[in-house]
A and B are shown apart, each in its own frame.
Chain A
Amino acid sequence: MTTLPQQTDRKLGLVIDLDTCVGCHACVISCKGWNTENYGAPLSDQDAYGSDPSGTFLNRVHSYEVQPEAGAAQLVHFPKSCLHCDDAPCVTVCPTGASYKRVEDGIVLVNESDCIGCGLCAWACPYGAREMDQAAGVMKKCTLCVDRIYNENLPEEDRQPACVRTCPAGARHFGDLSDPDSAVSQLVAERGGVDLMPEQGTKPVNKYLPPRPRDQLQTPDDSGEIDVLAPFLEPIDNGPKGFLGWLDRTLEKL
């Protein structure tokens, strides 16, 4: 049924730390690796070794630069996958019931044997989280690694989404965002986690932690400390040397 549940028992999702992400794309690769050989149709590539390669991915990392009013510009790496929205517009547009949001944990999934590949759910998603697989003709999306997180054949430490398990920087966190005491909820509260495109009214479960202010190298003036040796360590001559130095001095005299 493509009507959304009134509420879900849990809200499993990701918290992505934009302050910590180093932009290595390991989450992209591990996601593709796990999901191409497990739940549903493989994530196909087209013309992978040719002049116009493209393929299906469930997670992609953008990079943005931000210029604050004061201070240095920052580069922010920005992983983006399905946000498992509470008000998921992709689910309600589905004409066949292939797209659904689970009541028990809030995960948004596609039943691929019901999907007619009309592409409407990808149109309805503002985040670009759904991609039509060109080989299988069905819609692919992040499953929150539903075949890992409940999988008792895996060691306990592996029962989390592949992207979270692989992230070398610890920038991705997985948990229940409906429980205010869960580690992820605490993290969101502490760091001021935000929704993407809140004006679209999708109520995403996944949260993003904004980059923290960058450290400033403190000068003695800022810190209030007095360094008695500093005057002696100042460079005596910062001016140019050699011919340019002569030219500089001569022009000064004129």
Chain B
Amino acid sequence: MHPAPSVILFSSLSGLGFGLLVWLGIGLPAVTGWVAFVFFALAYLLAVGGLIASMFHLGHPERALKAFTQWRSSWLSREAWASVTALLVMAAYGAGLVFFDTRWWPLGLIGAALSLLTVLTTSMIYTQMKTVPRWHSLSTPANFLSLSIAGGALLAGQVTEAMVLIALAGAVQIVTWWQGDKALATSGTDLSTATRLGEIGNPRAFEPPHTGSNYLLREFVYVLGRKHAAKLRIIAIVLMMVLPLLLLLSPVWHHLAAALAVLSHAAGVLTARWLFFAQAEHVVGIYYGKR
């Protein structure tokens, strides 16, 4: 799949932002006043910034409001609802903390649940794609949710929780890669079923329909990243898990180490999310004798 920068930025950044909102919603850290304002500003910058980035890949962003209409069937529409309601509820909750020094805890819990739901709906957009066997698995929501909660804990400064959750997210990431590598081969879709010529003999793509490229090849048959996939995976796991853990474990624990851990984790998540798209094989590539 074509790794569109806007979609990678969106899913990574808003994942971190909504992750932070989950922790703020359950009152960890229990901040009020100006400190709360800084935490909420960071969360909203990440979450809303990500949502705005996602608008850039639309052909007609001016019609984006129509995307709220089809929540009955479409995960993208459900994501729109979940994200907007999460942001509204958390805004009311945050206003209580910042301006009135009061924690309206039921609002916080509802907001935290809606924030988690937003990340789940984002992951389901990809998970529902039977056409991309690497994504069509429970490991996709597990991957998105574990990264979001771990990154949120890191941003919220919950050191112990962050260490456990980052290790867990790293483990889920490795399982996701390991499962994903087998997904296309075990999906049962190949050139024989795509053309149904397998019943005569062994089919092979002879000539594509066009000499140039087209939308389908650009969008679905992206092969640039695959050559370096193994190296990029190591870079991603070091940046998202190993380095932040070392920084959090280091005896000189201060704000600089924490900031470095956050930046390293975010860079690792972005690398992993880039691979999530670049390595994903869409079955339409089979018609072109590619994958």
A residues at B contact (CB < 8 Å): 1-3, 18, 25, 28, 52-57, 60-69, 73-76, 78, 80, 89, 91-98, 114-120, 122-128, 131-132, 134, 136-139, 194-201, 208, 210-211
Contacts and interface: CB of A to CB of B under 8 A. Distances in A.
Contact of A95 (B61, B74, B212): B74
Interface string B163-189: 000000000000000000000000111
Interface of B: 1, 57-61, 63-64, 66-70, 72-77, 80, 125, 128-132, 187-189, 191, 193-197, 199-210, 212-216, 219-220, 282-284, 287-288
B200 A211 contact: yes
A210 B196 contact: yes
Contacts of B58: 116-118, 137
B206 A63 contact: yes
Contacts of B189: 126, 197, 199-200
Given A118-B76, A128-B216, A200 B206 contact: no
A75 B203 CA distance: 9
Given A66-B201, A69-B201, A128-B287, A138 B60 contact: yes
Contacts, number: 196
B220 A128 contact: yes
Closest 7 A/B residue pairs (Cβ): A117-B59, A137-B59, A60-B209, A68-B201, A128-B284, A96-B66, A95-B67
A91 B80 CA distance: 18
A53 B189 CA distance: 30
B204 to A, nearest CB: 5
Given A123-B282, A196-B195, A132 B59 contact: yes
Given A197-B189, A211-B200, A64 B206 contact: yes
Contact of B61 (A54, A75, A116, A136): A116
Contacts of B130: 89, 124, 126, 200-201
B131 A123 contact: yes
